[in-house]
Structure 1
Amino acid sequence: MLLNNTRKITKPAMLTACLSAALLAGCATSPTGRSQIMVVSPDEAISQSKSAYVSTVTELKQSDQLVTDAKQLKRIQTITGRLVTEAVAKFPKTADWEWSVAVIDDPETLNAWCMAGGRMAIYTGIINQLALDDDEIAQIMGHEISHALANHTAEQMSRAVLINAGLAATASATDQNGIALTGTALAAKYALQLPNSRTAETEADEIGIELAARAGYQPEAAVSLWKKMQQAAGGSTPEFLSTHPSPKNRAKTLGNLGTQMRALNPSMTKAAVYPVTMVTDLSQLD
């Protein structure tokens, strides 16, 4: 109804509407005790993530980018499986997730990710360019798994819904299109998205290093990993304009957590390997 009378909407009214939407949104608490606004439920995020994962893997298969080398897949499956064992032990509901990993043949990309519901990917670029050992891979995958455990996908989707609603209302209210929308989008990004996104990254670092330690991987590897990332980043974007804490600050923070994490598993006993599916064919996603 309001969108049909957009010329009568004032900026204060628009702001009130957006704030009301946020206040009426569902709330949740992250594993670290942080309050989260949830317009999109975790279950809906899992459902939507499955569709997105199928679409992504389909494109990768068509471009012949799914790694099928048995040795590479076994390495990632073993590391990730141990992490998932600890994730399920701490969050029993995730035993119902469709835990899976696609290893993507992309030598230029330094990345890995985990969608809601445990659907993951890691790129050969980050493994090979940084010459990662198993402990460092465990830190990466533990971090990405932690995003899913902390419902960061649902939180990010919720933020996008609220931001998009605000942008649409602002553009309509001022009767301006391209330029005004771009300016508002940038303002929304830096005012709303970055603080929460950086908090989520730090949260995933903390949960991830714990998962890795419990799974039997050296916590010190979190420091060496981010030192490598810092070297790879070179003259990267300043931290205050990035959705991620800087590699240097990350290494320092994680280093301070190392002793505490090692105490959780002093002998670094390796966890059992959870049955994680290594995605090499579309039939595995049915």
Structure 2
Amino acid sequence: MRKPYLAGITALLLTACATSPTGRDQVLIFSESQMAEMGAASFTSMKESQKIDTNRAHNRYVNCVVDALIPELNRIDPKMRSTRWETQVFVDDSANAFALPGGKIGVHTGMFKVAENSSQLAAVIGHEIGHVWARHGNARVSSQFITSTGLQLAAIAAGEPTQEKKQLLGLLGVGAQVGVLLPFSRGDESEADEIGIELMAKAGFDPRESVELWKNMAKQGSGGAPELLSTHPAPQTRISKLQALMEDSMSDYRQARSEGKNPNCSL
């Protein structure tokens, strides 16, 4: 039995090779529709178990930022135009945000205390959108699937809060909410940063504020690290890499402003 099993896995890996938006090699077993199903089921479950923020100003603010970023993503990759994005603000004091396959975005109210303006919020949300576009969740779930006996993943995502469900949420990138910290790799984080700063700049948000955001995160760390820091690299590492991208990002930003892109998003 072992040889046919290994042969099947080998064939699966050979047909599952893919390339990320920045040219990184990936192994992706699951289709976009399968990942979207997992993301939707997980998001529905979270909305049922966590307190939803009904503050209209908060929701309008977050949606304004998302609505400015998504058209830029669609211009870069027309295949993303079929994604129907949904945004939800959750009442939670932790400074956290996430995005799930299938176009589900969550922002905690605690993020408003750290992201001091719309450009800083765009840096966070752009980064999380970057994880989805680069299919980092798919890569991690695929890796887990290969090394496990196989899980009914969509059913687990929609089911009760078992340890398996917590693990799946961690793989998709929202494990901090359920106490399972499975940080993305450094390569994933760097790629999401690169995508995020490009999206925000092309949408007319000031990319320099991405650096200020992580300075704010570092300040918060002295009194108990923000939730986002528990699953992301050290702020100074991120700041250095963002600064290396700043020249191109500022060029995109100036071009966007010259085209009249000036998102008027505020609380």
TM-score, normalised with respect to structure 1: 0.71
18-27 or 97-106, larger mean C-alpha shift: 18-27
**Alignment match, 2:127:** 143
Structure 2 CA distance for aligned equivalents of residues 220 and 142 of structure 1? 14
Paired AA for residue 25 in structure 2: S
Give the total of aligned pairs: 226
Structure 1 CA distance for aligned equivalents of residues 59 and 116 of structure 2: 15
Given that residues 106 and 124 in structure 1 are in contact (C-alpha distance below 8 angstroms), is that contact kept between their aligned partners in structure 2? yes
Question: What does residue 146 of structure 2 align with?
Answer: 162
1:94 aligns with 2:114: no
The one of 41, 59, 66 aligned to 2:52: 66
Residue 251 (structure 1) aligns with: 239
CA pair 26-236 structure 1, distance change in 2 beyond 3 A = farther
Q: CA deviation at 1:244?
A: 2.9
CA separation of 1:78/1:158 partners in 2, compared to 1, >3 Å: closer, same or farther? same
Partner of 2:192: 204
Q: 1:235 to 1:162 in 2, by over 3 A?
A: farther
Partner of 1:191: none
Match of 1:115 in 2: 100
Amino acid at match of 2:58: Q
Quickly say closer, same or farther: Cα 1:196–1:22, change in 2 above 3 A.
Answer: farther
Quick check: 1:223–1:254 contact (8 Å CA) kept in 2?
Answer: yes
Using the TM superposition, give the Cα deviation of residue 43 of structure 1 relative to its aligned residue in structure 2, in angstroms: 2.5
CA distance in structure 2 between the partners assigned to 1:115 and 1:223 by the alignment: 24
Q: 1:70 to 1:25 in 2, by over 3 A?
A: same
Shift of 1:39: 2.0
The AA in structure 1 aligned to 2:118 is D
CA distance in 2, matches of 1:141, 1:162: 30
Please say which of residues 142-151 and 153-162 is displaced more in the overlay: 153-162
Structure 1: gaps of 5 or more residues: 3-12, 167-193, 274-286
Q: CA deviation at 1:196?
A: 6.8
Following superposition, the deviation at residue 225 of structure 1 comes to 0.7
Higher Cα Rg, which structure? 1
Contact 1:50 1:119 survives alignment (8 Å)? yes
CA–CA separation in structure 1 for the residues paired with 2:192 and 2:184: 12
CA offset at residue 68 of structure 1? 1.4
The residue matched to 1:120 in structure 2 has which SS?
Answer: strand
**Could you say which residue in structure 2 is the equivalent of 1:134?**
118
Contact 1:85 1:272 in 2 (8 A): no
* Conserved 8 A contact 1:136-1:221: yes
Question: 1:162: how far off?
Answer: 2.3
- Whether the 8 Å contact between 1:83 and 1:215 is mirrored in structure 2 is yes
- Aligned partners of 1:70, 1:125: CA distance in 2, in Å? 16
Q: In the aligned structure 2, how far is the partner of 1:196 from the partner of 1:131?
A: 21
Q: Is the 8 A contact 1:32 1:203 kept in 2?
A: yes
C-alpha separation between the residues in 2 aligned to 1:66 and 1:195? 25
Structure 2, unmatched stretches of 5+, are 151-181
One-letter amino acid of the counterpart of residue 17, structure 2: C
In the aligned structure 2, how far is the partner of 1:88 from the partner of 1:254?
23
Equivalent runs, 1:230-241 vs 2, <5 Å: 230-234=218-222
* Partners of 1:249 and 1:117 in 2: CA distance: 30
- Judge conservation of contact 1:21–1:162 (CA < 8 Å) in 2: no
Identity of aligned residues (%): 33
Q: What is the DSSP-based 3-state SS (H/G/I as helix, E as strand, rest coil) of the residue aligned with 1:144? A: helix
Q: How far does the alpha carbon of each residue in 1:73-131 deviate from its partner, in whole angstroms, 9 at most, with x for none?
A: 11111111000111111121222212011101111x12100001111000011212x25
TM-score if structure 2 supplies the norm length?
0.75
Partner of 1:7: none
Structure 2 match to 1:124? 109
Whether the 8 Å contact between 1:18 and 1:165 is mirrored in structure 2 is no
Corresponding residue of 2:208: 220
1:78 aligned residue (54, 64, 70): 64
